[in-house]
């Protein structure tokens, strides 16, 4: 199962990495890759997350904060991708699914555009 998770991570990682220039790389490790926005709260210095991918014990998680901030972005996703949702901004994968990864890629790209409109990126 660990090899499968590494393959999933290796498929999802580039979907985020391609947007690294627009974001701030928060974590770049063998099992976790996270991007943040340029928005930093004045009161505590917290940098808003954009999203990322991480190998967990039972699945690979793909986080995407633009869908939390703008839930209307989820209106057009497929039932299959929605089934992978955990909470409001996380998608969990246990198996390779290129079609869902492509759909997630479209959502990530739309999230970058949306956060640029917001002035976060």
N-terminal to C-terminal alpha carbon distance within the chain: 36
27-74: per-residue pLDDT in tens? 999 999 999 999 998 999 999 999 999 999 999 999 999 999 999 999
66-93: per-residue pLDDT in tens? 999 999 999 999 999 999 999 999 999 9
Task: Locate 51 and state its tokens.
Answer: 């999203």
Report residue 86: phi and psi, to 5°.
Answer: -125, 115
């Amino acid at each position: 199962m660990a090899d499968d998770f590494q393959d999933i991570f290796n498929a999802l990682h580039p979907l985020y990495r391609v947007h690294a220039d627009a974001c701030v790389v928060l974590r770049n490790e063998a099992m976790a890759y996270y991007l943040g926005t340029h928005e930093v709260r004045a009161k505590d210095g917290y940098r808003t997350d954009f999203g990322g991918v991480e190998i967990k014990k039972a699945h690979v998680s793909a986080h995407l904060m633009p869908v939390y901030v703008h839930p209307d972005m989820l209106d057009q996703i497929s039932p299959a991708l929605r089934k992978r949702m955990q909470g409001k901004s996380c998608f969990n994968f246990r198996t390779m699914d290129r079609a869902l990864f492509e759909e997630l890629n479209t959502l990530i790209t739309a999230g970058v555009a949306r956060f640029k409109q917001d002035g976060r990126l």
